[in-house]
Structure formats: C-alpha cells, structure tokens
C-alpha cells in the first residue's frame, strides 16, 4: 500500500471479491463515509460494497497507516476498473476539507461515523471531543446542506449513541429523555439536535441512529469488551496474567457491529427520514461479560482481574437496555448475533491472535505486549 500521486491525492481500494455491476440503465450509488477506518466504518464499507455502491471514505492524516481494518479490501490503486473504494484526506475539525469532498463527490448518502468515541477519554480531552463530535457534525451538515442546492436528494446519517440517555433508567427508546453523563455524550446530544434541526429547518433527509453498544473482533482495544477478550487470549497462551479493570457493575446492551451497520443503511432507504434506536434489548453487566469470556476459554476471571481506580469515570452510566421496537417495525431490522455468540466470536479470534503473538514473542521478534 502506498500513497498515490493522483490529483485527488487519494488512496484507492476496492472490494477484493466480486464486482457488482449496476443494472442496465441504473447508476451506481455513491456513499461518503467519515470514520471509515473505525470499527463501524469497516463493516459499513463491506456492506455497501456488497450492495454495489461506490464508497468514498474520509481519513485523517496519521504518522502511521491507520487503515488496518480496511486492508483486506485493498486492491492495487492502479487497478482503476476494480477500484470501488476510495480514501481521501479530510478532518471533522476542518470544514473546508468536508465541503470540498461533499461538493466534488455529490454522494447519494453521507454516513457521519467519525468521532473521538471513547467516553473515558472525553473527560481528558473535552474541548477536542466537542469540536470533533458536535461541531464536526455541524460542519458536515452545513456541507451537505450546501451541496443539496446542486443535488437535493443527498441523504445524511448521524451516528448517535445510547450514551445520550446517560442516567435515564432503562428501557430507553426514541422518546426517552437524554441525560448525558460525559463530554462525549453531551457532544453527541448536540450532534443529534443539529441533525433534527437541519431536517426541520431545511428539509434535509437526515436520520439519527441511536445505537447501543456494538462490538466485534475489530473493536478498539481500550473498550471494555475487547480489552477483556484480548486479555483472555493472552492469558490463555501465557503472555499475560492480570487484567486491570474499573467498574464491573455497569450494564450494557451489547450487540454485533456487523448487524448494526445494516440498520444505518436501512434508515436512509425509507420514504421519510427519522430517528431510530438500535439495540438487542438484552442487557449484561461487565462482570457477566467477564464470566462469559473467561468461561469460554476455560478460565476463571477472579484469578486474573484486579480492580484499578484509574478506570473509573468521574460520572458513570449505570444501566443501558434499548427498546428498538420502532426499528423492528419500520425498518424490518433485527439483531442476528446474540450475546453468547458475540462473546465466543471475539474470544475465539483473540485466542488465535494471541497464538500468533506468542510465536513472535518466543522467537524474540516482539516483547510480550502490555494491555492497553
């Protein structure tokens, strides 16, 4: 993979699998995704490519390549005939970059997934979190609004979060009041209302997905589920003994990310725009996740977990459990992967990953890595 020197200054990738041509007389749909290098961005890209879309992703500059979750989709950038995924540099903090790509691509659908998405980190960098999550969404909405003068049919998806419900008790639905408990959640509330406002004020086809936690083997390693399954893998092969965690009594409604990106797309295929809760409607504590993950690997979590105050948050969200009846009824969406299946999928993959790490550690190529 290398940076190409084309005028667009973009990396060009394409689905490794089959080329899906548009039907005769039909134009290929174009999607623009912010946050394409993240967990959801990679699943959404796979999903849209499988539907025959041309996918453009906005990535931010990094001193390291940050496209690891997309590498399996990579095709030589010179293979223009097959390139259906293209990456461009932009940043949610840079309005001009957003406007440039929206204007030049005039996409059919815009998915705003980019965010400083870590709740605990948002207490450390509140100003930056607000700039990217709240004002960044506003910048993108402005770019889309402006582009609708040329192409009125552009549709916009905003990645909202169950964190917006915060301390409001479950079950949480579209009509449940928000009570955010972190700078991240407050910023997501602002983005939510900007999106509603642009729909009401300018008639924009704009939807808020209020997604509950969704995980996968591609989940960032400092979110609690993946932190646990990475530790299980390493403990299983002897690379780690202890796992430091914070509050084990918080309850979350955990689903599979691969299922949730379909709901994003379905929202943009409706006749009218709306806001939808997407959840499994089942809730488990962090301790239950631990029990399930360690148990699946034949381990006892109590032998390894150490409570570390550092991982407690200044304000916690105690209990989340969604009511996604509107999404089931109007979108025909339902979750496919259940809690135990999700835990097993993540543990199995992380045990395999740890086995590969162990080979490199034993050969002296890498140090036994510490947990994030």
Compute the distance between CA of residue 185 and CA of residue 178 in angstroms, rounded to an integer: 9
Provide the minimum distance between the beta carbon of 298 and ligand NDP in the complex, in angstroms, as a whole number. 28
Closer to ligand NDP at the Cβ: 93 or 285?
93
Interaction between residue 119 and ligand GDR (CB under 6 A): yes
Given the residues 117, 137, 161, 216, the one annotated as active site: 161
Where do the H-state alpha helices sit in the chain? 39-50, 95-105, 119-124, 126-129, 136-147, 183-202, 224-237, 257-268, 286-296, 325-326, 339-362
Compute the distance between CA of residue 43 and CA of residue 179 in angstroms, rounded to an integer: 29
Interaction between residue 32 and ligand NDP (CB under 6 A): no
Tokens of 34: 């912010």
Site size for ligand NDP (CB under 6 A): 25
- H or E element that contains 161: strand 155-161
The interface with ligand NDP within residues 251-310 (CB under 6 A) comprises: none
Given the residues 184, 194, 260, 276, the one annotated as active site: 184
Compute the distance between CA of residue 245 and CA of residue 251 in angstroms, rounded to an integer: 15
- H or E element that contains 245: strand 243-245
Q: Who contacts 329 (Cβ-Cβ below 8 Å, separation ≥6)? A: none
| Residue 97 among the catalytic residues | no
The interface with ligand GDR within residues 185-244 (CB under 6 A) comprises: 212-213, 222-225, 227
Among 286, 293, 337, 346, binds ligand GDR (CB under 6 A): 286
Provide the minimum distance between the beta carbon of 136 and ligand NDP in the complex, in angstroms, as a whole number. 6
Instruction: Single out the segment in contact with ligand GDR by CB under 6 A; choices: 100-108, 116-124, 135-143, 231-239.
Output: 116-124
Radius of gyration in angstroms for the set of CA atoms belonging to the chain, rounded to a whole number: 21
Q: Who contacts 348 (Cβ-Cβ below 8 Å, separation ≥6)? A: 296
Interaction between residue 135 and ligand GDR (CB under 6 A): no
Interaction between residue 70 and ligand GDR (CB under 6 A): no
Compute the distance between CA of residue 117 and CA of residue 98 in angstroms, rounded to an integer: 19
Instruction: Single out the segment in contact with ligand NDP by CB under 6 A; choices: 30-38, 147-155, 231-239, 262-270.
Output: 30-38
Q: Which does 137 bind (CB under 5 to 8 A by kind): ligand GDR, ligand NDP, none?
A: none
Provide the minimum distance between the beta carbon of 225 and ligand NDP in the complex, in angstroms, as a whole number. 9
Contact 106, 147 (CB under 8 A): yes
Closer to ligand GDR at the Cβ: 160 or 273?
160
Provide the minimum distance between the beta carbon of 282 and ligand GDR in the complex, in angstroms, as a whole number. 15
Using DSSP bridges, classify how beta strands 155-161 and 109-112 pair: parallel, antiparallel or unpaired.
parallel
| Residue 163 among the catalytic residues | yes
Compute the distance between CA of residue 148 and CA of residue 120 in angstroms, rounded to an integer: 37
Given the residues 54, 163, 262, 281, the one annotated as active site: 163
Interaction between residue 114 and ligand NDP (CB under 6 A): yes
Interaction between residue 40 and ligand NDP (CB under 6 A): yes
- H or E element that contains 329: none
Compute the distance between CA of residue 252 and CA of residue 321 in angstroms, rounded to an integer: 6
| Residue 184 among the catalytic residues | yes
Contact 245, 312 (CB under 8 A): no
Provide the minimum distance between the beta carbon of 89 and ligand NDP in the complex, in angstroms, as a whole number. 10
Q: Which does 234 bind (CB under 5 to 8 A by kind): ligand GDR, ligand NDP, none?
A: none
Closer to ligand NDP at the Cβ: 132 or 154?
132
Instruction: For tokens 């083997």, name the residue.
Output: 217
Neighbours of 76 (CB within 10 A): 14
Compute the distance between CA of residue 354 and CA of residue 368 in angstroms, rounded to an integer: 10
Interaction between residue 311 and ligand GDR (CB under 6 A): yes
Which positions lie near ligand NDP, rule CB under 6 A?
Answer: 34-35, 37-41, 60, 62, 66, 91-93, 113-117, 132, 159, 161, 211, 213-214, 220
Q: Which residues are catalytic, by number? A: 161, 163, 184
Residue numbers of the site for ligand GDR (CB under 6 A)?
117, 119-120, 161-163, 212-213, 222-225, 227, 245-247, 250, 252, 286, 311, 313, 316
């Amino acid at each position: 993979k290398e940076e190409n020197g084309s005028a667009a200054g973009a990396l060009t990738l394409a689905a490794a699998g089959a080329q899906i041509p548009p039907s005769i007389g039909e134009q290929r749909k174009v999607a623009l995704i912010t946050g394409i290098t993240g967990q959801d961005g990679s699943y959404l890209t796979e999903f849209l490519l499988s539907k025959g879309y041309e996918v453009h992703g906005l990535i931010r500059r990094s001193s390291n390549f940050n496209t690891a979750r997309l590498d399996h989709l990579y095709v030589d950038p010179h293979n223009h005939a097959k390139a259906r995924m293209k990456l461009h540099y932009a940043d949610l903090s840079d309005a001009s970059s957003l406007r440039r790509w929206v204007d030049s691509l005039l996409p059919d659908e815009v998915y705003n997934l980019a965010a400083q998405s870590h709740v605990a980190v948002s207490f450390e960098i509140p100003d930056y979190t607000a700039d990217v999550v709240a004002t960044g969404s506003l910048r993108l909405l402005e770019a889309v609004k402006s582009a609708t003068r040329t192409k009125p049919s552009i549709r916009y998806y905003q990645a909202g979060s169950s964190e917006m419900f915060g301390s409001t008790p479950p079950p949480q639905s579209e009509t449940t009041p928000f009570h955010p408990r972190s700078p991240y959640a407050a910023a997501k509330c602002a983005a939510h209302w900007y999106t509603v406002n642009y729909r009401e004020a300018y008639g924009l086809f704009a939807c808020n997905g209020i997604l509950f936690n969704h995980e996968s083997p591609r989940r960032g390693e400092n979110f609690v589920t993946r932190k646990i399954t990475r530790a299980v893998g390493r403990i299983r092969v002897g690379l780690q003994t202890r796992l430091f965690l914070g509050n084990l009594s918080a309850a979350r409604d955990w689903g599979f990310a691969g299922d949730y990106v379909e709901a994003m797309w379905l929202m943009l295929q409706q006749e009218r725009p709306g806001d939808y809760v997407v959840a499994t409607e089942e809730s488990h504590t962090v301790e239950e996740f631990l029990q399930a993950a360690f148990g699946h690997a034949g381990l006892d979590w109590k032998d390894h977990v150490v409570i570390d105050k550092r991982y407690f948050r200044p304000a916690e969200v105690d209990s989340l459990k969604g009511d996604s009846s509107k999404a089931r009824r109007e979108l025909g969406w339902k979750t496919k992967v259940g809690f135990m299946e999700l835990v097993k999928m993540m543990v199995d993959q992380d045990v395999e990953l740890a086995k590969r790490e162990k080979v490199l550690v034993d050969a002296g190529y890498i140090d036994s890595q510490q947990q994030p």
